[in-house]
Amino acid sequence: MRKIKCALIGPGNIGTDLLYKLKRSTVLDPVWMVGIDPASEGLERARNMGLKTTSDGVDGLLPNVQADGIQIAFDATSAYVHAENSRRLNALGVMMIDLTPAAIGPYCVPPVNLREHVGKREMNVNMVTCGGQATIPMVAAVSRVQPVSYGEIVATVSSRSVGPGTRKNIDEFTRTTAGAIERVGGAARGKAIIVINPAEPPLIMRDTIHCITESAPRAAEIEQSVRDMIGQVQAYVPGYRLVNGPVIDMDTHRVSIFMEVAGLGDYLPRYAGNLDIMTAAAARTAEMFAQEILNGSLTLEPVPA
C-alpha cells in the first residue's frame, strides 16, 4: 500500500519519539530527519533507523523535497523558527504539522476538532501544547453538554520532561493553551497553569480540568460525555486515565476532572505523557490528512510565497 512520505524537523526528544510512532503508521512513511548539529544523537539515531538526514536545517531538506516526494513535514523545533520553516515548505506544496507553540495555523486537538479540518485545504495546523492536548478534550466534553463560562487547566509535569525550549518561554505555554481552551475547548474564557515537579522517581503527567458551567451542571450527562471522550483519546494515548472526578459542585457550578497521562514509552519514558500525547496527536492528525491524500480528496499545492 502506498504511504505518504514525511520529513521531521528537529531530532530532539519530541522528534525522535514521533519518529518511532511514524515508523508504525500504515499510511505515513518517515523519510527525512532534519537537524542543525552534525554531532546530534537524534540524527544518528534516525540514520540508524534508515532515514536520510541533514544537519543543514531546512536548507538541507528543500532540494530533496520533490525528488523524494515529501508531502507532510513535522516541525518539532521552536516557535522562533517555525514560521520561516513553514513558509518555505508550504511553497513547495508540503503540508506542515506544527508541534511548536508558534500557532500560525489553526489549532488541532484530534478527538475534538480533527474532523473540522477535513476539506479545508489547510497547509499548516498547530498541535497547541502538551497541556492543551491533555486537557482540551475534557473541556470540550463538558462544553458539548452545556455552556462553559470559564475553563481552567493545571498541567503538572515532571521536571525531566520539560526541555530548554519550554523553559525559556514558559509564557508561550500558558498563552497558547488558554487560547485553545476557548477556541477548541469551547469555554467562553480560558486559563492555563503549568507546574513543574522535580520529584524522583519522576511523576507521571497530571492534568486537572476545572470548568464553571453557566447553569447548574447536568451531572449524569457530563459524566457520560467525559467517559466517551476519554475513550476517544485512549484510541491514540492508551495511558490517558481518569484518576478522580468529575467532582461536581452544584453551588459554584464547578466541574473538576483529575487526569493522569502515561506515555507509551516509545523513546521517552512513560512518565513523560506530556510529550507522548503531543507526538501521538501529531501522528494521528497527519494520518488523517494522509488518508485524504491517498483517497484523492486532498491535493496539496504549492503556496505562493
Partner 1 sequence: MNLKGKKVTLHDNTLRDGMHPKRHQITLDQMLAVARGLDEAGMPLIEVTHGDGLGGASVNYGFPLHSDEEYLSAVIPAMKKTKVSALLLPGIGTVDHLRMAHELGVHTIRVATHCTEADVSEQHIGLARKLDMDTVGFLMMAHMIEPDALVAQARLMEGYGANCVYVTDSAGYMLPDDVTARVTAVRQALKPETEIGFHGHHNMAMGVANSLAAIEAGASRIDGSTNGLGAGAGNTPLEVFVAVANRMGIETGVDLYRIMDVAEDIVLPMMEHMVRIDRDALTLGYAGVYSSFLLFAKRAGAKYGLPARDILVELGRRGMVGGQEDMIEDTAITMARESSPARTLTQAKA
Task: Report the 3 state secondary structure along 252-272.
Answer: CCEEEEEEEECCCCCCCCCCC
**Contact characters 221-260, partner 1, x per CB under 8 A:** ----------------------xxx-x------x-x-x--
Please report whether residue 304 would count as binding partner 1 according to CB under 8 A: no
For the bound state, the minimum distance from the C-beta of residue 197 to partner 1, rounded and expressed in Å, comes to 5
**130 a catalytic residue:** yes
Backbone torsions φ then ψ of 180, nearest 5 degrees? -75, -25
150's CB contacts (< 8 A; 6+ apart) are: 187, 188, 189, 190, 191, 211, 212
Q: Binding to partner 1 (CB under 8 A): which residues in 152-191?
A: 152, 154, 156, 159, 164, 167-171, 173-175, 191
Using only the alpha carbons of the chain, give its radius of gyration. 19
Lay out the sheet containing 52-54: strands in order across: 52-54, 28-34, 4-9, 70-75, 95-98, 124-126
Q: In this chain, which stretch among 42-50, 139-147, 198-206, 297-305 interacts with partner 1, using CB under 8 A? A: 198-206
Q: Distance (Å, rounded) from C-alpha 50 to C-alpha 35?
A: 16
Q: Distance (Å, rounded) from C-alpha 207 to C-alpha 190?
A: 15
For the bound state, the minimum distance from the C-beta of residue 121 to partner 1, rounded and expressed in Å, comes to 34
Which of 20, 32, 107, 150: binder of partner 1 (CB under 8 A)? 150
Backbone torsions φ then ψ of 161, nearest 5 degrees? -100, 5
Which of 64, 197, 232, 291: binder of partner 1 (CB under 8 A)? 197
For the bound state, the minimum distance from the C-beta of residue 254 to partner 1, rounded and expressed in Å, comes to 6
Q: Which residues are catalytic?
A: 130
Residues near partner 1 (CB under 8 A): 150, 152, 154, 156, 159, 164, 167-171, 173-175, 191, 193-200, 203, 206, 208, 210, 212, 243-245, 247, 254, 256, 258
